[in-house]
Amino acid sequence: MLRKKFVVALCIFLGTVEVGCTAQPSKKTEASSTSKARTSSVKSSSSSKASPVGKVISTEKMDPDIGYKVANKKTVFYRSLKEYGTKDGIISDNITARGSIFGAIKKYETTTGVYYRVVMFYPNGFENKNSPENSGDTTEITNYGFVKADGLKPFSTVKSEWRYSQKQPYYVGNPYEHRIWSAPANTKHYTYVTHVFDRLARTQLYATKELVKYNGSHYVYLSTAKRPLGWVYKSPKTLIAGYYRDPGQQLLKPKAHEKMVVKKQSRKSAGTRVDVSDSTALPQRVYQIRNKRKHTLRVLTMGMDNRPIRIDFKRGKAVKVRTFEYWRKPWKTITNKKKLRTHFTVSHDFVEASWSTVHFYKHQSKKLVRVRTYGTDSYATIWIYRNGKVGFKTVMPKDIMSYPLADFK
């Protein structure tokens, strides 16, 4: 009986232990469960969006005037680092960007490599630093997003540059063909027109240094006797080498007994706006040679394009017209009596933007001759009267894009 009670007690004890073991998991089971929980947590974290370029380790500002070009066919530009490598994040493909020049404004070193934030080199022309549109940052205009550093290669925008040992004198020939820039276009990330030649037609200019661009074109840096101006394309059409020569003295050659009278258009009449295509703000001029009886013998007109036209008169009638190139070299001589009684056109047949018409009045008219210069957008007129008086007028249509002359003086 006693033995039977012992067996029953032992079974109850063993049953209790078994139940307890079932309720309490082993350490091995606990470790396995915890490991699974951690793995689940990692998977959950990695499923959230991570930057495709990895973690940013450092950032550094860069000089945007140092040029780069596309290095290979795989180069693609993206809107942001977060969108890098995505189809929707592409700003420009390789074909569109090829040929353009870029500047890097910021460098990003990440765990996957080095990336640049870039801007495209941009010549903004007449929208210079005085324009309200450009009073702030220009990055919005030139922004080209982000690109991997190995997708670009350095590109030198300037082949060579040197300073003259002595200033080289120049004066204005063609005033509208080229303008004066802050730097030659596409040699820096942002360039613009600083000055125009409209009010510099009779000013002595000096070149102090010269630059050769990546495409081989030459530019000179100009100044007046008192102030620096900027860079202009080196062209014998735009700039005449040497010291300024008065066109009346040079081309009319007044004799000792003759009197030369100079008439100049007022600045108000020429206007205070700069036309993108023409030299509208250039005051026109007339040089007259008259004898003691105050009869007009010869006249030289300088229209808004600054090109000389000489007209010889005899007894109030035109007998010869000589036209000149911008650099004052003789171009055409007209002696045809019909043309000298009526009118003719001075044109280079679309080689140049400006052209002129010369109209002669009948002998009984108070007017002697009218010379009108037509530009791309504007025109300007000179009237010469028989009594020696001169009239000027410049017309720029109101719908033509123009800028304040004060921004370019």
Segment 181-190, tens digit of pLDDT: 999 999 999 9
Residue 331 has pLDDT above 90, yes or no: yes
Residue 6 has pLDDT above 80, yes or no: no
56-154 and 158-241, same CATH topology: yes
Encode pLDDT of 81-92 as tens digits. 999 999 999 987
* Residue 166 banded pLDDT, cuts 50, 70, 90: very high
Dist CA 354 CA 348 (whole Å):
9
Residue 400 has pLDDT above 80, yes or no: yes
Please report which helix (H) or strand (E) contains residue 2, including its range.
helix 2-23
Residue 47 has pLDDT above 60, yes or no: no
Cα dihedral 346, 347, 352, 356 sign: positive
Dist CA 25 CA 11 (whole Å):
22
Phi, psi of 95 (to 5 degrees): -65, -40
Dist CA 364 CA 212 (whole Å):
58
For the residues 254-265, what does the mean pLDDT come to?
Answer: 93
- Residue 311, beta-bridge partner list: 299, 321
158-241 folds as SH3 type barrels. (2.30.30)
Q: Are 199 and 75 in contact (CB under 8 A)?
A: no
DSSP 240-251: EESS---HHHHH
Encode pLDDT of 15-26 as tens digits. 433 333 333 344
- Residue 291, beta-bridge partner list: none
Could you tell me if residue 398 is left (phi over 0), alpha (psi between -120 and 50 degrees) or otherwise beta? alpha
Residue 96 has pLDDT above 60, yes or no: yes
Encode pLDDT of 351-362 as tens digits. 778 999 999 999
Q: Are 164 and 209 in contact (CB under 8 A)?
A: yes
Residue 350: its pLDDT value, please? 60
Q: Report residue 6 as tokens.
A: 């012992």
Dist CA 307 CA 305 (whole Å):
6
Q: Are 330 and 322 in contact (CB under 8 A)?
A: yes
Encode pLDDT of 229-239 as tens digits. 999 999 999 99
Residue 292: its pLDDT value, please? 86
Residue 405 has pLDDT above 50, yes or no: yes
56-154 CATH choice from 2.30.30.170, 3.30.70.100, 3.30.360.10, 3.40.50.720: 2.30.30.170
Could you tell me if residue 11 is left (phi over 0), alpha (psi between -120 and 50 degrees) or otherwise beta? alpha
Residue 404 has pLDDT above 60, yes or no: yes
Which class for 106: exposed (0-12), middle (13-18), buried (19 or more C-beta within 10 A)? middle
Q: Report residue 53 as tokens.
A: 């370029």
DSSP 3: H
* Residue 137 banded pLDDT, cuts 50, 70, 90: low
| Segments making up each domain of the chain, as ranges | 56-154, 158-241, 247-408
- For the chain, the three-class secondary structure string (H helix, E strand, C coil) is CHHHHHHHHHHHHHHHHHHHHHHCCCHHHHHHHHHHHHHHHHHHHHCCCCCCCCCEEEEEECCCCCEEEECCCCCCEECCCCCCCCCCCEEECHHHHCCCCEEEEEEEEECCEEEEEEEECEECCCCCCCCHHHCCCCHHHHEEEEEEHHHEEECCCEEEEEEEEEEEEEEECCCCCCCEECCCCCCCCEECEEECCCCCCCCCEEEEEEEEECCCCEEEEEECCCCEEEEEECCCCCEEECCCCCHHHHHHCCCCCCEEEEEECCHHHHCCEEECCCCCCCCCEEEEEECCCCCEEEEEEECCCCCEEEEEEECCEEEEEEEECCCCCEEEEECCHHHHHCEEEECCCCCCCCEEEEEECCCCCCEEEEEEEECCCCEEEEEEECCCCEEEEEECCCCCCEEEHHHHC
Task: Give me the amino acid identity at 53.
Answer: V
* Residue 216 banded pLDDT, cuts 50, 70, 90: very high
Report the candidate in 88, 71, 54, 50 with the shortest Cα–Cα distance to residue 147.
71
Comparing 386 with 257, which gets the higher pLDDT? 386
